[in-house]
């Protein structure tokens, strides 16, 4: 199975932030908390057919996921962001389901990494 | 000592945390804002030292990066602060728009430490060059004002000390100017003293002349003879 997290990207992040493992663990916590909230916002935006709110939340999850090396998740969010930017909500629900599934893998992997870094 | 004082503006706390830590590791001092309003309040609330570079996210709620950038560039006190736009690689249209609005550069997300340092160093160098240029122009204005002050006799010698401390041609000009102004002043004071002394001599000569005019008259001579005669009689002679 392909890992959901690009370790090289995560190592770059660790190096850029002073090789402080405790800080990386804190960053992962922040990412997971914020991502759960962003996923909730995306579901709400799709329910309310609010393309602007969907675009904003998808953009944030795309950006944050890329920072942590969650490339697949970031790419899927980018597709949803692009659709929402074009005002299209067609297929948004299906995309959201796949995003949530990828996020579940990312979350599992990041928790394992946190244990490794602690 | 900090290599520069930076403002990070991003609505994503993860980005703020990463940038703040990465930039601090690179020797910069960092403040953060999570929207444009907060960023402008921080920029306007500071006196010196102000921010050397602003790192600005584009897509933000309340006041987005475009509006914030436009406000920064419209304010004469802030317009010279370089703004580096933070943007994902798939947002080139936003980057172009920001550069047209006056952004100095852009920084792709996710961040690369080496690129982050290189882009900020370049913006800081540009800012420092601009600061030096402004300081130079201000000091040229000080020398010009000093020349006007010499003409109106209100020149204060210490007013050019800051410019005279420079080691370049402008500093040399200020030192020569100070020396010449001092010489002119010394000569002027000498001349004024000589004129005063001359006036006293003229007054004394005039007084002597007046005394002579009186003492040489026949009437004065007669009075003097009478006075001598009286003195002689009183002395019993």
* SS3 assignment for chain B: CCCCEEEEECCCHHHHHHHHHHHHHCCCEEEEECCHHHHHHHHHHCCCCCCCEEEEECCCCCCCHHHHHHHHHHCCCCCCCCEEEEEEHHHHHHHHHHHHCCCCEEEEECCCHHHHHHHHHHHHHHHHHHHHHHHHHHHHHHHHHHHHHHHCCCCCHHHHHHHHCCCCHHHHHHHHHHHHHHHHHHHHHHHHHHHHHHHHHHHHHHHHHHHHHHHCCHHHHHHHHHHHHHHHHHCCC
Residues 72-101 of A with CB under 8 A from B: 78, 82
Tell me which CATH code domain A7-117 carries: 1.20.120.160
Does the beta-carbon distance from B110 to A17 stay under 8 Å? no
Does the beta-carbon distance from A16 to B15 stay under 8 Å? no
Asked whether the beta carbons of A74 and A62 are under 8 A apart, the reply is yes
- Are residues B31 and B88 part of one domain? yes
Distance in angstroms (rounded) separating the CA atoms of residues B58 and B165: 44
Residues of chain A neighbouring B58 (CB-CB closer than 8 A): none
Distance in angstroms (rounded) separating the CA atoms of residues B68 and B40: 7
Residues of chain B neighbouring A59 (CB-CB closer than 8 A): 59
Least Cα separation, residue B53 to chain A (angstroms): 19
Does the beta-carbon distance from B18 to A16 stay under 8 Å? yes
Chain B touched by A59 (CB under 8 Å): yes
In a domain, B141, yes or no: no
- Are residues B160 and B89 part of one domain? no
Higher model confidence: residue A115 or residue B236? A115
Does the beta-carbon distance from B15 to A13 stay under 8 Å? no
Please count the structural domains in chain B.
Answer: 2
What's B62's domain CATH number? 3.40.50.2300
Q: How confident is residue B237, by pLDDT bands cut at 50, 70 and 90? A: low
- Are residues B119 and B76 part of one domain? yes
pLDDT of residue B46: 72
Q: What is the mean pLDDT of residues B52-70?
A: 92
Q: What is the mean pLDDT of residues B157-170?
A: 89
In a domain, B164, yes or no: yes
Of B12, B113, B116, the CB nearest to A60: B12
Whole-structure pTM value: 0.77
Does the beta-carbon distance from A63 to B88 stay under 8 Å? yes
Share of chain A above pLDDT 70, in %: 99
In a domain, B235, yes or no: no
- Are residues B197 and B90 part of one domain? no
Share of chain B above pLDDT 90, in %: 54
Q: How confident is residue B47, by pLDDT bands cut at 50, 70 and 90? A: low
Q: Where are the domains of chain A?
A: 7-117
- Are residues B185 and B95 part of one domain? no
In a domain, B233, yes or no: no
Residues of chain B neighbouring A13 (CB-CB closer than 8 A): 18, 110
pLDDT of residue B213: 87
Share of chain B above pLDDT 70, in %: 98
- Are residues B16 and B116 part of one domain? yes
- Are residues B44 and B126 part of one domain? yes
- Are residues B163 and B71 part of one domain? no
- Are residues B102 and B37 part of one domain? yes
In a domain, B196, yes or no: yes
Backbone angles phi, psi at A45, to 5 degrees: -65, -40
- Are residues B94 and B60 part of one domain? yes
Worst-scoring range by mean pLDDT, B14-18, B33-37, B153-157, B200-204? B153-157
pLDDT digits (tens, 9 = 90+) for A86-97: 988 889 999 999
Expressed as residue numbers, the domain containing B95 is 5-133
pLDDT digits (tens, 9 = 90+) for B97-111: 999 999 999 998 888
- Are residues B35 and B122 part of one domain? yes
């Amino acid at each position: 199975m392909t890992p959901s997290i690009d370790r090289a990207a995560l190592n770059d992040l660790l190096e850029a932030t002073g090789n402080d493992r405790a800080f990386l663990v804190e960053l992962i916590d922040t990412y997971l908390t914020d991502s759960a909230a962003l996923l909730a916002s995306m579901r709400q935006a799709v329910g309310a057919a609010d393309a602007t709110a969907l675009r904003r939340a998808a953009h944030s999850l795309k950006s944050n996921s890329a920072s942590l090396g969650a490339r697949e998740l970031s790419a899927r969010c980018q597709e949803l962001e692009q659709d929402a930017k074009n005002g299209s909500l067609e297929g948004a629900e299906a995309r959201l389901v796949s995003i949530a599934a990828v996020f579940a893998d990312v979350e599992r992997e990041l928790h394992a990494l946190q244990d490794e870094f602690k | 000592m900090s290599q520069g004082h930076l403002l990070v503006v991003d609505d994503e706390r993860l980005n703020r945390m990463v940038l703040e830590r990465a930039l601090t590791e690179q020797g910069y001092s960092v403040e953060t804002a999570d929207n444009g309003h907060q960023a402008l309040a921080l920029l306007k609330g500071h006196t010196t030292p102000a921010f050397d570079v602003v790192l600005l996210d584009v897509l933000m709620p309340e006041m987005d990066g475009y509006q914030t950038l436009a406000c920064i560039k419209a304010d004469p006190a802030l317009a010279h602060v370089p703004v580096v736009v933070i943007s994902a690689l798939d947002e080139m249209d936003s980057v172009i728009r920001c550069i047209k609005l006056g952004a100095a550069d852009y920084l792709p997300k996710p961040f690369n430490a080496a690129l982050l340092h290189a882009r900020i160093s370049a913006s800081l160098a540009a800012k420092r060059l601009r600061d030096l240029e402004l300081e130079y122009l201000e000091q040229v204005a000080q020398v010009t004002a000093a020349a006007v002050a010499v003409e109106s006799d209100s020149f204060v010698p210490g007013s050019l000390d800051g410019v005279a401390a420079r080691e370049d041609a402008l500093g040399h000009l200020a030192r020569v100017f100070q020396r010449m102004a001092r010489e002119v002043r010394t000569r002027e004071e000498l001349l004024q003293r000589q004129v005063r002394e001359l006036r006293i001599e003229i007054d004394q000569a005039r007084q002597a002349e007046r005394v002579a005019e009186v003492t040489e008259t026949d009437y004065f001579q007669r009075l003097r003879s009478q006075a001598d005669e009286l003195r002689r009689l009183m002395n019993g002679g």
